[in-house]
Amino acid sequence: MSINSAMLAGVSGLVANSSALAAISDNIANVNTVGYKRTTANFSSLVTSNSKASTYSAGGLKAITHKYVRQEGNHMGTSSNLDLAISGSGFFVTTSKSEGNLPTDQRLFTRAGAFVIDDLGYLRNDAGLYLQGWIADNLTGEIVTDPSDLSQLSTINVSGTGGTAEATTRVAISANLSNQQEVATWGEDPDGDGVYTEFYDDTLRNQMAEWKATNGASGLEPDFEINIPVSDSQGSQRNITMGFMRTGNPNEWVVEVYGDPSVIDDGDANVGKIAAGTITFNPDGTIQVGDGSLDGLFPAAPAAPTISIGASSDTAGPGAPTWRTNLGISAQDIQIDLFTAPGGLTQFSSLSEAQNISANGTPFGVLADVQIDKQGYVTAIYENGTIRRLAQVAIATFSNPDALISMNGNAYQVSQESGTYTLKAPGAGGAGEIDPSTLEASTVDLSTEFTGLITTQRAYSAASKIITTADEMLEQLLNIKR
C-alpha cells in the first residue's frame, strides 16, 4: 500500500538523519582532537519495484557514513620536541603495549602525534598507543630500515640508554719547544771530568716518567711538559703527560708519554710510562719526517702518531702499558696530532709553551634532551655534549586510507578495502616527512558542522511530517467504515 510505504519512507528519513546528526555531533565533539578526521553521512535513495505502473511505492533512503581519513589537517606549532605531525601521506605505527610485541599482534595506525615519555622511557601518545620504529645498533649506531619485515619494528625507548661517555681517540697539539733550551746535564759529575753518573735511558729508571712518579725524588726532570686531558671508556677523566728533554744532537729532543702510576701499569718499572722515543726538527722549525724522527715514540708515525693503552684485563709489560686492573676499562688508542693541528709542534726561538691542546671524547653525562628530525631520526642529547641516534620512526602508507576502520584513541586498523600497509622511512617512497614540535589539527570546520545541524534538523522535521501526514490519511481511511 502506498500510504504504508510513505510512512516507512518517513521512518527511513528519521533513521538516516539521526545518523547524520550522530556524525555531526562526533565532529563537533572532536573539533580540538589532535589528528581527528571529519566524518560525514551521505544519503543514498532506495527504490522498490512497483506492482502496477499506476501505483508508486516509496523506497526511502539510507545513510552511509564516510570518514575523510586522507584529508590533512592544519599543522600547529608546539613547544614539545616530542609532538609530531606528518606532512603528507602516512600514519604512525603504534601498538597498545610497550613490550613483548609479536608480528602477529595488532598494529594500529594514527596521525595523533602528541607523544610523551612514559615511566619506562617509551614514547606513548595521549591515547596510550606506543610509537614503533627501527632501532639503532648499540655498537655502531647504524639503523637498518626493512619495509618488508614488520618484526624489525620495535617500540621506541629513549631513556633505556641511560648515561653515556665517549673515550678520547684523538688529541691535537699546538705547542712550541724553544730552540734556546740548553742541553740537559743529567746526574752528577763528582770528579769534575765531564763524566756524569746518570744518563737518560728509557729502559732503566733514569727517565722523566720516574721523576714525575716520584715527585722529583729520582729520575730526570723534563725541560718541558704538556698535559693532555683524556676520557677513558667509562667517561672518567684521566691525565696524560708528554715530557721533553733537549739532547746533544742538533734539533733533537727525547720525548716520553706517561701517566699516573696508579692509573697506568707499565710492568715492573711502575712509573706509568706509555711510550718513549725522539723527535727531530728541521732547520725551519717543523718536525722532521723520516730519518729516524719519532722512532720508538709512535709506531704508526708519521701518518697517524698513536699511543696505545691496553685494557685493564690485559697483561702489562715493557712497551705494553695497560690501564690498572682495578679500573676495569677498555683498551684505548689515542692519535696524537702533531702535524695538522693549527701550528702543530714546532721548535722556534721563543719560549716553550703549549698554545692549544684539544681532545675529543667526553666524560660521563646523563640524558638531557630528546629530539626528532624531519627524517624521523630520534636523537638523544646528553649533558656532556654527546649526541646519539637511537631510532627512526616508521611511516605506514595505504592505497585507500579512507577505507581504514576507526578504532578508539583516534586510530585505525586495516580493512580489506584499505589494502595492507607499506612501511617506509619518513620522506621516502611517497611517505610524508615528520614535522617536529608540531601537531596536526582536527579537520572539522565548525561553520560547516553548524550548517549541517540546521539542514539535518529541517530534514528530520520534514521526515516526521511524512509520518504524521500518512497517519492522518490512514485515520481517514479507517473512518470510512463509520
What string of DSSP letters covers 285-353?
SSBPPSTTTTTTT-TTTTTS-EEEEB-TTSPPBTTB-EE-GGG----EEEEEESSSSSS-EEEESS--E
- Give me the domains of the chain, ranges plus CATH numbers: 2-68+443-481 (no CATH), 81-156+367-440 (no CATH), 165-365 (2.60.98.20)
Per-residue pLDDT in tens (0 to 9) along the chain, 482 residues: 578 888 888 888 888 888 889 999 998 999 999 999 998 888 888 887 665 556 777 878 888 888 889 899 999 999 999 999 999 999 999 999 988 888 888 899 999 999 999 988 899 999 999 999 999 887 667 888 877 677 789 999 987 666 667 889 999 899 999 999 988 665 554 455 554 445 666 666 668 898 899 898 888 889 999 999 999 988 888 999 999 988 878 888 889 999 999 999 998 888 999 988 888 898 999 888 765 556 556 655 556 678 899 999 999 988 899 999 999 999 999 988 887 667 789 999 999 999 999 888 877 777 788 999 999 999 988 776 778 888 999 999 999 999 999 999 899 999 999 998 899 999 998 899 999 999 999 999 999 989 989 998 998 888 888 888 888 888 888 888 76
Cβ-Cβ contacts under 8 Å for 5 (sequence gap 6 or more): 48, 57, 58, 59
pTM: 0.62
The single residue listed with the C-alpha cell 609530531 is: 84
> Rounded distance, CA 54 to CA 51, Å?
9
* Peptide bond before residue 342 is cis, with ω within 30 degrees of 0: no
Q: Distance between CA atoms of 121 and 130, rounded to whole angstroms?
A: 11
Q: Could you tell me the three cell numbers for 482? A: 463509520
Give the residues across from 123 on adjacent strands: 117
